[in-house]
Structure 1
């Protein structure tokens, strides 16, 4: 039985910052952002968007009534959770109107959470072939204003329906994974901003990729020539390229050219959204599928997932017949076409605007947010969500 990605969608907030202007405001050479790390724009989350609403908006465009009846497991991968107890999946389940006989959980391991969710989903489908699983990767990357990590912030979510007989991608079973207790990136419970040892994290990302790649070749018997493309978790778009370059010489010249060309295509969305943590790898996959029009069915795509702290995994998927018919290319293009650029001053004000830390009630102006699902405020320490379509 084939199991894999039946549908995939994403959502990013309606406002963004131009990275050249951010660099100039920080007295940094713009090329360090646009070329050095490979970022052009950075999505900014208004106070009316959090990890729950981003995930729900990403899922809203891809689910239909049949999905609402068949989804019996919602897995919410995030490191931007809004509650230490209640999962974001429960909120999303209600906001989407899914049938009640379902499991709903939140999974956390830095940027690896959505990948863990996919593997859990595969096991569930293997036991329950008629079921569907909604896997969400939703995050808001925050390092703080005027910090070394500011240029690798972002906000957004990817939603995937995992099922038997998938229409987009069959996920193969040659997975190789690795865990090591390291402190390259972390966010203590008391902090709303992450801490990162940037140089160490980059080194560990590449080390993890090299280790799982070598193990994958041994386990699967496959090599670079068997890959049409490799998609990476992208905290910034140059990161995956650094990893790819460490193994690219293993391949013949025509394969090297193909992998490098497809890598660049896979980074187009990430370059203009920024880092979305758990969703970054799958935004890279989506960018490749939607922007490379001649990507043929039946080809194999490699995927490297990395979550600091750290867990890494390499796995592969095979594109299914007529997969492009099941993509939402036009609606995703609308997300980019209708976004509004904000000034650096506006961005800084939005960044500093937070919900009351003492639990006080607040009512937010949701009219300025065009999203279908928004956070409207807090009452009695409870976040209030609104689906404008309901």
Structure 2
């Protein structure tokens, strides 16, 4: 029995800032952002969107009534959780109208969370082949205005439906992983913003990739030539390229060209969204399969997942026959084209408009947010969510 990704959905907020304009406002050469780190636009979440609503909006695109009957497990991967106790998955479960006979949990390990969720989902489906699992990777990356990490912020979510006989990608079983207790990126519970040792984190990302890649080759005997593409977790789009370049000379020239071309294709969506932590690897995969028309069924895709702190994993999947029929390429193109560009001043104002942390009641204007699912306010310390389609 094959298990893997049956459907994939994506959502990003309706507002963004152009990185050229941000660079000028910060007295930085625009090429430092657009070429140096490889970002063109940065999605910005309004106050009416959080990790829960982003995830629910991503899932809303792909979940049919038939899927609702089969989903008995919702796993929410995030490092932007909204409650220390209650999982974001429970909120999404209700907002989507899923059946009560389901598990709903949240998992956390920096940007690795959604990968852990997929592996957990795979095990669940192996035991219950009739089941489907909804996996969510949803985050809002915030480092603060005028900080060193500002240009790598972003907001968005990816939703994946995991099941038997998948329509898009069958996951293979020869995965490898690595854990090491390091402090390259972290966010204590008392802080709204993350702390990062940027140079160290970049070094560890590359080191983890090299180690799991060596493990994988030793375990399977496969080489770069056996891959049509490798997708990477992308805190910024240049990061994955730095890792790929450390092993690319293992390949023949035609394989190098293919892998580098497909890497570039896999970054197109991320360039326009920014870092979405747990969802960024799967946004990269989505960009690849929706934008690279030359991909064929039977192609092997590699995935490198990295979550600071740190856990890394390399795993693989094979594209399924007629996988294109399961994609929402036009819908995602419309999502991008309908977004509103903000001035830097507007971005700074929206970024600084945050929810109260003292228990105050607040009512939010959801009419300004075109998303179907929004945060409508806070009452009695409880977030109030609405689905406009209900």
Q: TM-score, normalised by structure 2?
A: 1.00
2-structure distance, mates of 1:137, 1:244: 24
**1:321 partner SS:** coil
**1:302 aligned residue:** 302
Q: Deviations over 1:258-293 (max 9, x none)?
A: 000000000000000000000000000000000001
**1:334 partner SS:** helix
1-structure distance, mates of 2:271, 2:144: 20
**1:50 aligned residue:** 50
2-structure distance, mates of 1:110, 1:56: 20
Q: Deviations over 1:229-248 (max 9, x none)?
A: 00000000000000000000
Question: Which consecutive unaligned segments of at least 5 residues does structure 2 have?
Answer: none
**1:235 aligned residue:** 235
Q: TM-score, normalised by structure 1?
A: 1.00
1-structure distance, mates of 2:158, 2:139: 9
**1:52 partner SS:** helix
Q: Does 2:344 match 1:344? A: yes
Q: Does 2:261 match 1:261? A: yes
**1:22 partner SS:** helix
Structure 1 residue runs of 4 or more that deviate by more than 6 Å after TM superposition: none
2-structure distance, mates of 1:175, 1:181: 21
2-structure distance, mates of 1:69, 1:86: 24
Q: What pairs with 1:164-203 in structure 2 (closer than 5 Å)?
A: 164-203=164-203
Question: Which consecutive unaligned segments of at least 5 residues does structure 1 have?
Answer: none
Q: How far 1:48 sits from its partner (Å)?
A: 0.2
Q: How far 1:79 sits from its partner (Å)?
A: 0.1
Q: Does 2:219 match 1:219? A: yes
Q: What pairs with 1:107-122 in structure 2 (closer than 5 Å)?
A: 107-122=107-122
**2:90 aligned residue:** 90
Q: Deviations over 1:135-181 (max 9, x none)?
A: 00000000000000000000000000000000100000110000000
Q: How many residues align?
A: 390
**1:25 aligned residue:** 25
1-structure distance, mates of 2:261, 2:133: 33
Q: Does 2:104 match 1:104? A: yes
1-structure distance, mates of 2:366, 2:76: 24
